[in-house]
């Protein structure tokens, strides 16, 4: 399993695709958080990162879908999956190795944004006036959110051999899982189960962790979410109808 | 160490890609697996290597069945898939190292050195796989199949796309590997079967039409050439 993980990671790092998508992600973050007046922290005037943490999930939908789209779709298209499937590895090991490699990329893309925390704490009045607990909580939330989106991306990649389709499906599923349940719950037809629907969405749990309170219910939610999508991936891979 | 196949079948809906075939491949002998295109050769090989699950029947490899002990069986098999899929963006040595790691081999560097020499890749060993010509890609494919010194070798058209010199090299390599391993190769080239194989099975539209040694097959058909026998059986 370690061998597959290493191969995946190196193939990410040796292709320009990973650097370009992460670069664009960081560029978009920087622009939105520091320059564009509508969302800029400088216009906002408070030493908080809330704006950043509500923006990133939407950028993540695209970033993570782009990172994960190739994991199985490319192997299927090139026929190289047989190279993995005929080794002494279980399907689950292959899926986990690919999942973890994508997660490392997600972490790489998140690390540079720690600079924002430093900058903002310097800009605070007085200096260092920032709610560190909330920021740590939000980063943990973001990491869990990234994990959830990655599992969706891996699943989307396993159901098709076309990377573009995998990308589109992943973006849609991520979007729906993140804010779709919220929106649906506001339909009058679902009034009676509104809170259940809201609870199914990622946004509710992400925001709850972002407040700086690490509730086991939220953590369990994310773990279940990831397990569900990786399980679905295993079903898709195990059928081998290609 | 032998491969025993019992009533193996693979159905895709109504279509029977492989229909209840049984045969045996013995160690120290090379088994030629013949049949027209679409007869079910590759499907059978994919089932033997654990890539596809059979609809019914079973395959026993060194007294283990692929359904009950998939990981153990996969360790015993070296497989060269048809069309030789490879990670084109990897370097030859990097790729072989990766394959060796998936088998958990020790002395990986030394083993890579050995197989590179064995398949004749010494000149090209520092290149990217994507830059190699078809014949050399085929050798990389062969190298990844034998790197863990498997007891059973399953080679799906190992000599397609090779020039006459390479053909001779690879054939003699397969021949020498066949001395102490169980080898199953599929091919369309009849001369190759005569040059390489001890036993032969012929499959047509998913059904077995011959399963015997080459000498017996000839005797049965009054010393006709293998090509004529093949044509007669798969019409």
In tens, the pLDDT along A32-83 reads: 988 888 888 888 878 888 888 988 999 999 999 999 999 999 999 998 999 9
Residues of B in contact with A88 (CB under 8 A): 71-72, 74-75, 102-104
8 Å CB contact of B51 and A11: no
Q: Could you give the CA distance from residue B73 to residue B60 in angstroms, rounded to a whole number?
A: 9
Could you give the angle at which helices A132-158 and A50-68 cross, rounded to 10 degrees? 20
Q: Using alpha carbons only, give the angle A149, A154, A158 rounded to the nearest 5 degrees.
A: 145
**From the CA of B79, how many Å to the nearest CA of chain A?**
8
Neighbour-count burial for A223-238, b at 16+ CB within 10 Å, e otherwise: eebbeebbebbbebbe
Asked whether residue B23 carries a pLDDT value surpassing 80, the answer given is yes
Q: B3-83+151-233, what's its fold?
A: Rossmann fold (3.40.50)
Cβ of A93 under 8 Å from any chain B Cβ?
no
- Nearest Cα of chain A lies from the Cα of B52 at a distance, in angstroms, of 7
Over residues B165-215, the pLDDT tens digits come to: 888 888 899 999 999 899 999 988 888 888 889 999 999 988 888 898 888
Interatomic CA distance for residues B144 and B169, integer angstroms: 17
Assess B151–A contact: CB distance below 8 Å, yes or no.
no
pLDDT (0 to 100) of residue A240: 65
Low-confidence winner among A12-16, B106-110, B221-225 (lowest mean pLDDT):
B221-225
| CB within 8 Å: B89 and A89 | no
The shortest CB-CB distance from A79 to any of B53, B79, B83 is to: B83
| Interchain contact, B87 vs A83, CB within 8 Å | yes
pTM of the predicted structure, to 2 decimals:
0.91
User: Does position B99 have pLDDT exceeding 70, yes or no?
Assistant: yes
Q: Which chain B residue shows the shortest CA-CA distance from A85?
A: B51
Which two tokens mark B61? 């490899």
At B74 the pLDDT is 92
Interface contact B103, partner A, CB < 8 A: yes
Question: Strands B3-12 and B15-25, how do they pair?
Answer: antiparallel
Q: Say yes or no for a CB contact (<8 Å) between B98 and A15.
A: no
Domain boundaries, chain B: 3-83+151-233
């Amino acid at each position: 399993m370690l061998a597959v993980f290493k191969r995946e990671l190196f193939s990410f790092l040796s292709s320009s695709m990973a650097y370009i998508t992460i670069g664009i992600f960081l560029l978009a973050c920087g622009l939105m958080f520091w320059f564009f007046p509508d969302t800029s922290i400088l216009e906002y005037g408070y030493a908080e990162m809330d704006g950043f943490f509500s923006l990133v999930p939407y950028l993540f939908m695209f970033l993570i879908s782009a990172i994960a789209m190739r994991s199985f779709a490319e192997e299927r298209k090139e026929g190289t999956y047989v190279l993995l499937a005929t080794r002494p590895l279980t399907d689950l090991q292959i899926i986990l190795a690919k999942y973890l490699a994508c997660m490392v990329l997600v972490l790489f893309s998140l690390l540079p944004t720690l600079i924002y925390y430093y900058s903002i704490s310097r800009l605070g009045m007085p200096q260092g006036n920032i709610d560190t607990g909330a920021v740590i909580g939000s980063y943990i939330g973001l990491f869990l959110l990234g994990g959830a989106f990655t599992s969706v991306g891996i699943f989307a990649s396993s159901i098709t051999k076309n990377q573009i389709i995998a990308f589109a499906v992943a973006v849609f599923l991520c979007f729906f899982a993140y804010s779709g349940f919220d929106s649906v719950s506001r339909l009058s037809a679902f009034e009676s189960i509104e809170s259940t629907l809201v609870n199914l969405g990622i946004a509710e749990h992400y925001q709850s962790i972002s407040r700086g309170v690490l509730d086991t219910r939220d953590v369990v939610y994310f773990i279940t979410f990831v397990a569900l999508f990786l399980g679905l991936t295993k079903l898709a891979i195990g059928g081998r109808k290609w | 160490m032998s491969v025993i196949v019992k009533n193996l079948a693979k159905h895709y809906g109504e279509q029977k890609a492989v229909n209840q075939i049984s045969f045996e491949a013995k160690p120290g002998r090379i088994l030629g697996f013949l049949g027209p295109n679409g007869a079910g050769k590759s499907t059978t090989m994919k089932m033997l290597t654990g890539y596809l699950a059979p609809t019914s029947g079973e395959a026993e490899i060194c007294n283990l069945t692929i359904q009950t002990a998939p990981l153990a069986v996969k360790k015993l098999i070296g497989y060269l898939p048809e069309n030789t899929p490879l990670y084109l963006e990897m370097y030859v040595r990097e790729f072989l190292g990766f394959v060796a790691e998936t088998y958990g081999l020790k002395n990986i560097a030394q083993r890579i050195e050995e197989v590179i020499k064995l398949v004749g890749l010494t000149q090209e060993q520092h290149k990217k796989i994507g830059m190699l010509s078809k014949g050399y890609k085929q050798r990389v494919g062969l190298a990844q199949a034998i790197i863990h010194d498997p007891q059973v070798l399953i080679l799906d058209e190992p000599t397609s796309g090779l020039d006459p010199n390479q053909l001779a090299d690879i054939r003699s390599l397969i021949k020498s590997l066949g001395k102490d391993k169980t080898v199953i190769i599929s091919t369309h080239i009849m001369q190759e079967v005569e040059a390489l194989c001890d036993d032969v099975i012929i499959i047509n539209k998913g059904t077995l039409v011959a399963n015997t040694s080459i000498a017996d097959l000839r005797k049965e058909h009054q010393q006709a050439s293998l090509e004529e026998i093949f044509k007669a059986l798969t019409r």
